[in-house]
Structure 1
Amino acid sequence: MSLRIAIFGATRGVGLALVEQATAQGHECRVLAREPDVLHDAERLKVISGNVLDPDAVRLTLEGCDCAVVSLSASGKNPKTICADGTQIVIDEMKELGVPRLVAITSLGLGESEAQVPWQFRGLMKTLLRNVMQDKARQEEVVRSSGLDWTIVRPSGLWDGPHTGDYRTGTDSTTLGKSINRGDVAHFVLKELSEGTYLHQTPWVMR
């Protein structure tokens, strides 16, 4: 079944890979981008220029959509609370428009998955990545309390690469994380949108 997907955070990383895979499979994508020129013209792709912290731009992106994917990340151009604040605005507008399905991409190492990441990364989580992880932890709280049909996807360490199909998913918090390429994470997100296997759960995705 073809979906109409609103994607926030689509100009790089998992979000960009998701746009490429979704449109190739015949889904329609509406994406919000501060730098729309980053995205190439494609069939079934509508790019809205704007910022995820602007409710009007978020609402315009969501219009007519069946579902939404939030793939936000920290950068020098964004405030430190971009993931949580942006996701809250997306949720508010989804409720206004009656868009029921949300997939948010966060990170392995949050909540009960902390023990799944290497000890070195756990150290970084509490030092250099402290603000980033706090933002994503609050983002997860926002999603859990949204009242929507949500799934929180927690990828392990990410690297650039195309979809290979060589990955695992699950919710067992004893499985140790292995790095995964962004193309495979995007593939899993698209599969989850279609199948809803992990509704109201926080699956990890890793090799």
Structure 2
Amino acid sequence: MAVTPLFLRNSPRTLWTQHSHHSRLPTTLTTTPKTSRSLSFNSTKMEASEITEEVTENVSVKKKIFVAGATGSTGKRIVEQLLAKGFAVKAGVRDLDKARTALLNDSPDLQIVKADVTEGSEKLAQVIGDDSEAVICATGFRPGWDLFAPWKVDNFGTVNLVEACRKLGVNRFILISSILVNGAAMGQILNPAYIFLNVFGLTLVAKLQAEKYIRKSGINYTIVRPGGLKNEPPTGNVVMETEDTLYEGSISRDQVAEVAVEALIHSESNYKVVEIVSRTDAPKRSYKDLFGSIKQR
């Protein structure tokens, strides 16, 4: 039976919005408190006329993750899942008014900041700040008449984020990319999805160049390449493969966000490129097992 190419199963709008070494971190991020600073009185003793107050420190400080593209269809899901997992989030957005509408969450652990990846690494470093311990890049260009937009956002914008991390000593970087970015080398140059996504500004080529930059940067990375993105809830389990393996298939954005967040938690994801789709007949596997099954190249 003929299989419809993965990206052609979605609307054109869905296609375009889908993608929209100084280590100071351990290789795995958890929400374990890293410092305890606030004071609380836990007992008062009276002996004769003397009162002794015992003071202890017992307040957790959550690890903060910077999310670029936080108001995008995938980015906002990443923000929600990070908060649900107990992380603090600094949401980098271009439009603060849009962010207040898109990120309907009054959590004290959510901070919304203005950030444009195309404006250079110096400004990004100021926004990411010393309090961020990892960066997740979920940006994607907006289709229009500017054929250089994919390169400005998906290539140079990602490079700017990496350089900002290097300036700050942030040593954990998660990128949401796409399957078929290396389609030419896979023998998929005539794949309709590969052709379609490269028509406007060579989008996949721009993403691939950004991936190569990350891999040479020395930063601990996880590059997540999802198949065609769906806004609907998951209908199957995650299938994870090594790079340049998958050339069709789709996946819910909720699962893509979950993979990005779980990559922060499991050291098995370090320095790896993973390709993901969802299949109804796939067995349910833990993320530790999924990441662990992928060999580094």
Question: Into which bin does the TM-score normalised by the smaller protein fall?
Answer: 0.7 to 0.9
- Aligned counterpart for 1:46 among listed residues 111, 115, 122: 111
- The answer to whether the aligner puts 1:119 opposite 2:185 as a matched pair is no
- Aligned counterpart for 2:142 among listed residues 64, 69, 75: 75
Aligned-residue RMSD, C-alpha: 2.5
* Contact 1:84–1:142, Cα closer than 8 Å, also in 2: no
Matches within 5 A, 1:118-197: 119-126=191-198, 128-129=199-200, 131-162=202-233, 166-171=237-242, 173-175=244-246, 177-197=248-268
Q: Which moved more, 1:196-205 or 1:147-156?
A: 196-205
SS at 2:272 equivalent: coil
2:57 maps to what in 1? none
What is the CA distance between 1:114 and its match in structure 2? 4.2
- Structure 2 length-normalised TM: 0.63
Aligned counterparts of 2:190 and 2:249: Cα–Cα separation in 1: 9
The aligned amino acid for 2:169 is G
What is the CA distance between 1:123 and its match in structure 2? 3.0
Unaligned runs of 5+ in 1: none
1:61 maps to what in 2? 127
Check 1:172–1:50 CA distance in 2 against 1; reply closer, same or farther (3 A cut): closer
What is the CA distance between 1:171 and its match in structure 2? 0.8
How many residues align? The count is 206
* Contact 1:115–1:173, Cα closer than 8 Å, also in 2: no
The aligned amino acid for 1:12 is G
What is the CA distance between 1:143 and its match in structure 2? 1.0
Check 1:108–1:177 CA distance in 2 against 1; reply closer, same or farther (3 A cut): same
- The answer to whether the aligner puts 1:10 opposite 2:92 as a matched pair is no
Aligned counterparts of 2:179 and 2:239: Cα–Cα separation in 1: 13
Unaligned runs of 5+ in 2: 1-29, 32-62, 279-297
> Radius of gyration: which is bigger?
2
Cα deviation code 1:75-108 (max 9, x no counterpart): 1478331111111111111111111000111110
What is the CA distance between 1:117 and its match in structure 2? 10
- The answer to whether the aligner puts 1:26 opposite 2:97 as a matched pair is no
- The answer to whether the aligner puts 1:95 opposite 2:166 as a matched pair is yes
Task: Identify the structure with the greater helix proportion.
Answer: 1
Q: Which moved more, 1:143-152 or 1:163-172?
A: 163-172
Q: Could you tell me the percent identity over the aligned residues?
A: 23
